[in-house]
Chain A
């Protein structure tokens, strides 16, 4: 591919045109923008990291525009990948404006899941030079046989908001797509845009291998305020809703023109919206709710309202963490702990879009100890301790999907495909045997030992070329490309037809016609359920519940919990939050002990329900869940009994009618890191957890077909639950690569194995303090009220049935 030296007169003339455009708007290119243009001109790859609103988009597109002036050509030149469909529209507008200002004859097109058929047709004819698309739509483009001609003129790819994609399977899918593009066009450049991350080098490497990191010098100041309890005010020791603070929040919202209220879960957002609506003094239509399960149309309306300033307040979840900039937002409010430093920074960044203005966020604690989390987040932010986001490694389900895409997009030879896949960071260490196992799955259904007649997803011809022959397989694959999954969800719509969004099937299953619930900020009444749709009508009030969605709660991040331990141990902490927390810490100190930063505190307390053992590793709720199971298991090895457990982000509780005598030496032995993996397997029913995880794996790998709206009866006939498949595969084909993938995801994601192991290593190295307080301490109390999450049980179905029968009989006697 021809490049023009960036020191040549031609290059400088082209760059001058871009600078003139900046000047016409009264701006000057920032040094990092010019550096990025130059690096693109030199044909290099790179990653641009800068806070939102500092001109990342122009930094990335400047190079391609100059390049386009110097090397005019027809056909697709630049691919712009964005994680959000809603962003695509906005970005397309921005980019088109820049293209026009440069006087480039480029046609800018958008291709996402909701593109019109006219746009799709234009794309098929190759009628565009700049294409804005999503990772899934890119995968779809790669699944057509003419893929090589489509990308024949490609000069580069820009990935927007790479930090949002990097740690997910979508990021893995994109890495594979980029590897494919690199094979088709070895000279094309790959650039990424990212918010600040704790692991920028890794992010760069995962995106494009070798490249330059370019950051803006501009630093945005972030101000963190806290809604502190007033003097003499009784503030709860536990809680997660925080509605007690409603008055303060209403006041903070009404003080400014437009405010954004962030909640941590979708149900919390619904409840806060309802509470605000009940006391809202303004016109009702100026208040809205926004979360991932609400219908895209309603969400877009809320976003539009924010942009134009028609809305005064939106209650949102992480669904608004990223996306279009809302210059109208002057205040951001965070309900409860943000659970991570980067997340807090990103949310704060949604306010104060005027250049130079600091962003600010008001944190509203839902219980006392969250005060310390807020103080810790402020310290971590000041020290630039942001969370890393690690790319996933070796996901076999995504690989299966990609290989089928490749098979459709012209076919492949196994050796070539393996070599290409291994160039990505995600699969750099993938053993050939695993690659072959995935190929076997596509070709034969599973491992060679189990029988899969009639199954020919992938066909290998005499030359070893792998292709898809069945048009049905091709069609189903294209329909289900992508890795985002919404599982078992039921559409919610009015009888008249307007769609409101989706809730989990299990929630609807508990409802009867006539029952009321809260959803999408409305009080609804269920009329009937038909064909995976819940038909509802407006109700005047709510008596029933609020839907809960799976996987709502994020664990406290490692960075934040490390800082939290230091803040708690810091007796001289001067933050207002810590001053407010002093009385509580004094109680903790007098009854038990406040753990030092590297110290592990263990408490044992007797209550009326039995003995409780509390351990505080501060490793996040996921790791604590695994740890609790292991600890309960090890206790049961010593003294056989029924042990139940509960967890939160600070620690875990084990409960039994009677716990054996313990001391710090015994605790050290119970918490030693030796044999951890073995004890996890013994203590947790991995199969049961993996079965849940398998749903997503099966869908990504194309093992089950999700169906699509308006599908015909014959399609429905193909639906089979992933749980059933899981059982059949475990019985008949236990070596299946997708079973292995599901179990690995359980360890990595559901149990946070890496953090779990680190917590035990830390406990083994550091001091351990064992205390037996007479009553529940402030740290213990929240764990005591948590619902029991699980327990150690070694029962089979026979004893389960006997136990349940005994219980039922007991209940009947009463």
Chain B
């Protein structure tokens, strides 16, 4: 399945297999940890990495926009990975993509990587605080936000899933008691897996769609 509905703090959210969350009541599309330009940063440092990642990721956002027709796109931090240099082609790629979606409001809740660059260049509204909306708060780092249920990024959550004698290491949505962690949207990002906690609802992201895991109370 590509989509999975989950209820949290009285709101219904649609999780999507492309590692995104759609909030139907407001028609908001939420992404975390996009890390545009990570490939360029690595190449400059001598890590041989072929190009094409940013364009791939832009296409994935295009498909999500076409599917949900959102009114606003909110990135929960780490839109970019590092400083952009004048000869960095990905900046122009993102700007052109932004122009194509000029009518769509796009906001960035600033993450630690975003200090490298002014997101305004890419046409994103910059939000320096946690963004509160109804019972939900949208932030980057998963530090509890009293009075609200926080959706956050930053950790690139993952989970190990047993499959007979095999084990798969997969990105995951992890919904805790008061904080939910979104998987990193950028394909070129790492994974931090933790054993499931009893209170968590976990939905793993496989290349073939979502896999909601049953967590038994221990």
Contacts and interface: CB of A to CB of B under 8 A. Distances in A.
A454 B88 contact: yes
A472 B46 contact: yes
Contacts of B42: 718, 720
Given A512-B195, A801-B208, A808 B47 contact: no
A724 B188 contact: yes
Contact of B188 (A445, A472, A704, A728): A728
Interface stretch (B62-70, B139-147, B174-182, B209-217): B209-217
Given A718-B42, A805-B211, A452 B195 contact: no
B52 A451 contact: yes
Interface string A704-740: 1100000000000111110011001100110000000
Given A717-B81, A800-B208, A445 B45 contact: no
Contacts of B41: 717-718
A283 interface: no
Contacts of A452: 43, 48-51
B53 interface: yes
Contacts of A472: 45-46
A580 interface: no
B47 A705 contact: yes
Contact of A718 (B47, B48, B88, B207): B47
Interface stretch (A108-116, A363-371, A541-549, A789-797): A789-797
Contacts of A804: 161, 163, 211
A724 to B, nearest CB: 6
Given A453-B43, A717-B81, A728 B48 contact: no
Nearest to A510: B195
A280 interface: no
B45 A801 contact: no
A503 B16 CA distance: 36
Contacts of B133: none
Given A797-B206, A798-B208, A476 B45 contact: yes
B161 A441 contact: no
A704 B89 CA distance: 23
Interface in A503-525: 509-510, 512
A800 B48 CA distance: 32
Interface string B29-51: 00000000010111111111111
Interface string A262-302: 00000000000000000000000000000000000000000
B7 interface: no
A444 to B, nearest CB: 8
Identify whether the interface residues of B are mostly helix, strand, loop, or mixed. loop
Contacts of B161: 804
B214 A808 contact: yes
Contacts of B38: 720
A739 B80 CA distance: 29
A117 B97 CA distance: 53
B190 interface: yes
Interface in B156-175: 161, 163-165, 168
Contacts, number: 118
Most buried by B among A454, A717, A803: A454
A800 B51 contact: no
Contacts of B200: none
B199 to A, nearest CB: 14
Nearest to B81: A717
Interface in B87-118: 87-89, 113
A631 B40 CA distance: 45
Contacts of A457: 46, 48
A264 B40 CA distance: 45
A75 interface: no
A455 B195 contact: no
Given A728-B188, A805-B211, A454 B44 contact: yes
A512 B81 CA distance: 30
Contacts of A473: 45-46
A787 B166 CA distance: 12
A510 B209 CA distance: 26
Interface residues of A, number: 50
A397 to B, nearest CB: 12
A801 B52 contact: no
B82 interface: yes
Contacts of A455: 43-44, 46-49
Contact of B213 (A476, A791, A808): A808
A717 B82 contact: yes
Contacts of A477: 46
A155 to B, nearest CB: 37
B193 interface: yes
B206 A644 contact: no
A512 B85 CA distance: 42
Interface in A423-455: 441, 445-446, 450-455
Contacts of A808: 212-214
Interface in A202-216: none
Contacts of A798: 208-209
A812 B40 CA distance: 46
A733 B81 contact: no
A79 interface: no
A791 B49 contact: no
Contact of B163 (A476, A733, A800): A800
Contact of B208 (A702, A725, A797): A797
Contacts of A725: 47, 49
Contacts of A733: 50
A803 B47 contact: no
A797 B191 CA distance: 19
A453 B51 contact: yes
A446 B52 contact: no
B50 A705 contact: no
Nearest to B191: A721
A790 B164 CA distance: 9
Interface string B121-133: 0000000000000
Contacts of A800: 163, 168, 206, 208
Nearest to A704: B47
B192 to A, nearest CB: 9
Given A509-B195, A717-B81, A801-B206, A729 B46 contact: no
B211 A445 contact: no
A470 interface: yes
Contact of A721 (B48, B52, B190, B212): B190
Contact of A720 (B44, B87, B188): B188
A617 to B, nearest CB: 22
A448 B146 CA distance: 54
Contacts of B46: 455, 457, 470, 472-473, 476-477, 702, 705
A512 B195 CA distance: 9
Nearest to A790: B165
A725 B163 CA distance: 25
B31 to A, nearest CB: 19
Given A732-B52, A791-B165, A445 B43 contact: yes
B191 to A, nearest CB: 8
Interface string A331-375: 000000000000000000000000000000000000000000000
A101 interface: no
Contacts of B211: 801, 804-805
Contacts of B50: 445-446, 450-452, 728-729, 732-733
Contact of A812 (B49, B53, B113, B214): B214
Most buried by A among B113, B164, B213: B164
Given A705-B46, A725-B47, A798-B208, 15 more contacts: A445-B48, A450-B51, A454-B44, A455-B47, A473-B45, A477-B46, A510-B195, A720-B190, A724-B190, A728-B49, A732-B51, A733-B50, A787-B165, A801-B206, A801-B208
18 contacts: A445-B49, A446-B50, A452-B51, A454-B43, A454-B85, A455-B48, A512-B195, A702-B46, A704-B47, A725-B47, A790-B165, A798-B208, A800-B163, A801-B208, A803-B163, A804-B211, A805-B211, A808-B212
Closest 8 CB pairs of A and B: A797-B208, A445-B48, A732-B50, A450-B50, A455-B43, A451-B51, A798-B208, A454-B43
